[in-house]
Amino acid sequence: MKKLSFIALFFVLLVSACSGTDVDQADQLEEPENSETETTEDEAASEETPSEESEEEAEPAEEEPSEETPVEEEPSTEEAPTEEAPADKKEDHTESDTTEAPEEEEEPEESAEPEEDTVESASNDSEDTEASGSSAGLKAYMPKGPMTKTFTQDEDYQVVHEVVDVNDRFVQQIVTFGDMVTLQILEFTEGRISVVHQESNPEDTSSQLDSFEAHETIDVLVDATGSSAKFQILDEAQTTSTPYGEFENVFVVQRMSGSDVTSMYHYAPDYGLIREKVEDKGDNGYTMTSELTEIQE
């Protein structure tokens, strides 16, 4: 028993001794770690001090622009003249306006000259139209619209030309002589006046021009093209007197029928035929004159 207690006591002492050595070793291990931490802290402190010094050195650099502030004031001194530039420009405008003012006063005199030119050109155009009115074409001698023209033949008989309808090419009329009634459609072109439709004692005398088409030429009353020797233009601007009144710019043409019969027609602008004269120089010769005595429009 004594041996067992002695062994146990010895074991306890051995264990306590081992634990003490372990604690010392642990303390020794902790000291280097503390020293390392202290060295890192010292290094960090040493690194922080230069940054503070650099910050202190940077502060004077930031203060340097404040000392150079007069440099920023130089643009303000240079901008001052630009503010006065508009005034100079205004003065230039006023001077230019004053110099240009006399030119504006002279413009009415210049504008007056074109007006004179326009008046002269208008008069020239009117003279040209009057001079070439008859030569412009025989369409100028078409009746201007529906009308009734009464002719006196040899102071004894009356012939009535009732113009029923007119378009840009054709004239439809009803010719009444005594008991004879004839429907005619005349075609007016630049160089000819022709009968293209004729009907005796028609049942319907209303206008046919909307659907009418010329298929044949029955008779050529006037030919001013110069292609036929039967026609001769006597005058293109004659003043013709009739019992109804006087007409100007009358177109006068003569037609030969055979060797003995000569017909003379007078056409007035906007009215058509106003006078007709037929002369037969044959064995049983005669002369017939038909003149306008009345117009109803």
CATH number of the structural domain spanning residue 271: 2.40.360
- Structural domain includes residue 183: yes
pLDDT value, residue 126? 39
Q: What is the domain count for the chain?
A: 1
pTM of the shown model: 0.55
- Structural domain includes residue 288: yes
pLDDT in tens, 152-161: 998 889 999 9
- Structural domain includes residue 43: no
Residue range of the domain that includes 169: 138-296
| Beta-sheet strands, E only, within the chain | 147-153, 157-166, 170-177, 180-188, 192-200, 219-223, 231-241, 246-257, 261-268, 272-280, 286-296
Confidence of residue 283 (pLDDT cuts 50, 70, 90): confident
Please give the Cα distance from 41 to 37 (Å, whole number): 6
- Structural domain includes residue 75: no
- Structural domain includes residue 54: no
Please give the Cα distance from 193 to 139 (Å, whole number): 9
- Structural domain includes residue 58: no
pLDDT value, residue 240? 97
Q: Is the pLDDT of residue 7 over 80?
A: no
Q: Is the pLDDT of residue 280 over 70?
A: yes
Q: Tokens 């008991």 label which residue?
A: 179
- Structural domain includes residue 3: no
Q: Is the pLDDT of residue 249 over 80?
A: yes
Residues, the chain: 297
- Structural domain includes residue 180: yes
Buried b (16+ CB within 10 A) or exposed e, 201-232: eeeeeebbeeebeeeeeeeebbbbeeeeeebb
pLDDT in tens, 70-100: 444 444 444 444 444 444 444 444 444 444 4
What backbone torsions phi and psi does residue 196 show, to the nearest 5 degrees?
A: -110, -10
